[in-house]
Amino acid sequence: MKFSELRQHKYFQSFLLALVAGLVFKVASSSKYTDDSEYLEQFWKNYQVYAVPFPEDLYFAGEVVPMYDFEVRERVDRELLVNTYFQSASILHFKKAARWFPEIEKILKAEGIPDDFKYLAVIESGLSNAISGQGAVGYWQIMKNTGLELGMQIDEEVDERYDPIKSTYAACKYFKRAYKEFGSWTLVAASYNMGMTGLRRQVGQQGLEDYHGLHLNNETSRYVPRLLAVKLIMEQPKKYGFHFRDAHLYKPLKTNTVKVDTAIADLVVFAKSQGITYKHLKVFNPWMRKTYLPAPKAGKQYAIQIPDPSVFNAQQELKAAYKIVLPEVEAIEKKATAPTYIEVKHLVEKGQTLRDIATMFEVKVVDLVIWNDLESTEVVKGQTIIVHVKKPVVDEAVEAQ
């Protein structure tokens, strides 16, 4: 084959591209190491990973965890490390727990279930309406057959596994059944992962009614230690390196219940009749699976949650402000970057409001909201607020401070 023909051959072209790429990479990487030597030095100087604090005494639902057993200790240690350094997921757990734990705790207490079981909803779904590959659904990851056995309505139009409150009651029903079977809350938790039948078989074969002493499948062996790790982290967030303010957490949302005993042909129309959007109707009632609701079974009612007006009150000032400012956004952005304007960083003082800051710098509250990408008009002491103002105003405001 002539060289001119060889150049057209696809394998030759691929080889040539690979060769050129390799040369470029070699040159680039060698020069990059030199250019980044200072970066690498700083990286190795400042990058640190720590082993996490480890508890000597640990309990689940009042039952002692045998931390003296090296195998148990190492399983708990593994899950504590994994969950501590899975920071994004753990922060979301804190945020969601602020909204849902008060309701879940109330139900657990009323049903006689230990409070520690609230952490099952965290490790099962991250407090979200997740769907597993096996078909488990909701905060408590309930399988369809299990849900039906527990008395839940599960069909094409309605799936109560998506209802955080009803699914919590269903989970409690399971916990009570399992406790009658095993007489141990730790075994109850383990059975929630592998099923009562599977756990009963292992208890019988191994002649041991102690979760920590049983040889179980990998997932169930990790299940309770994962539960314990999440409990430790969520009960002592700062100890495990998690810092947040109350404002970062998702607040409980008040709702009003509307009971319906007839079919609803169009949920969009129904939502409007309640003064809310279809989106909010679905957000607060995820168990509605269609755009309509069939008539409930005889003697039954649907309990539809409608967000209380207070849910939206905090948004009203911002909503009004954005309505006014939206047509002027482009002009505001130009003004903010114009040479005659200067960016000032102001630290909020105790008792100071966003309106006080706006008055001080002779700007609008809505401008401060936009410049700082605020979600509300509330500010706290020590918070940094960026202000775009003319230089003379800056000088006067600084002197005033």
pLDDT at 371 over 90: no
State whether 205 and 104 are in the same domain: yes
Average pLDDT over residues 326-336: 52
- Mean pLDDT, all residues of the chain: 85
What's the pLDDT score for residue 393?
47
Q: CA-CA distance, 156 to 175, in Å (whole number)? A: 27
Alpha-carbon distances of 249 from 94, 199, 239, rounded to whole Å: 7, 37, 18
- Among 209, 227, 248, the domain boundary falls at 248
What's the pLDDT score for residue 327?
55
State whether 234 and 339 are in the same domain: no
**Which residue, among 39, 254, 288, 30, has the nearest Cα to 160 in the 3D structure?**
288
State whether 77 and 214 are in the same domain: yes
Question: Considering its fold, how many domains does the chain have in total?
Answer: 4
Query: What CATH code is carried by the domain that includes residue 229?
Result: 1.10.530.10
Residue 51: inside a domain: no
State whether 66 and 195 are in the same domain: yes
**Do residues 227 and 187 lie in contact, with contact meaning Cβ atoms separated by under 8 Å?**
no
Instruction: Identify the band that residue 55 occupies on the pLDDT scale cut at 50, 70 and 90.
Output: confident
State whether 344 and 234 are in the same domain: no
Q: Does an H or E element contain 283, and which?
A: helix 278-284
Highest mean predicted confidence (pLDDT) among 12-21, 143-152, 385-394: 143-152
What's the pLDDT score for residue 396?
47
pLDDT at 39 over 70: yes
Q: Residue 165's CB: how many other CB atoms inside 10 A?
A: 17
Instruction: Identify the band that residue 392 occupies on the pLDDT scale cut at 50, 70 and 90.
Output: low
State whether 288 and 178 are in the same domain: no
- Among 269, 288, 308, the domain boundary falls at 308
What's the pLDDT score for residue 49?
86
State whether 237 and 276 are in the same domain: no
- The whole domain housing 154 covers 59-248
Q: CA-CA distance, 250 to 257, in Å (whole number)? A: 21
pTM assigned to the model: 0.70
Residue 52: inside a domain: no
Instruction: Identify the band that residue 143 occupies on the pLDDT scale cut at 50, 70 and 90.
Output: very high
- Among 281, 308, 335, the domain boundary falls at 308
State whether 181 and 215 are in the same domain: yes
Q: Residue 130's CB: how many other CB atoms inside 10 A?
A: 13
Q: What's the pLDDT tens digit per position in 145-204?
A: 999 999 999 999 999 999 999 999 999 999 999 999 999 999 999 999 999 999 999 999
Alpha-carbon distances of 37 from 30, 40, 43, rounded to whole Å: 11, 5, 10
State whether 242 and 321 are in the same domain: no
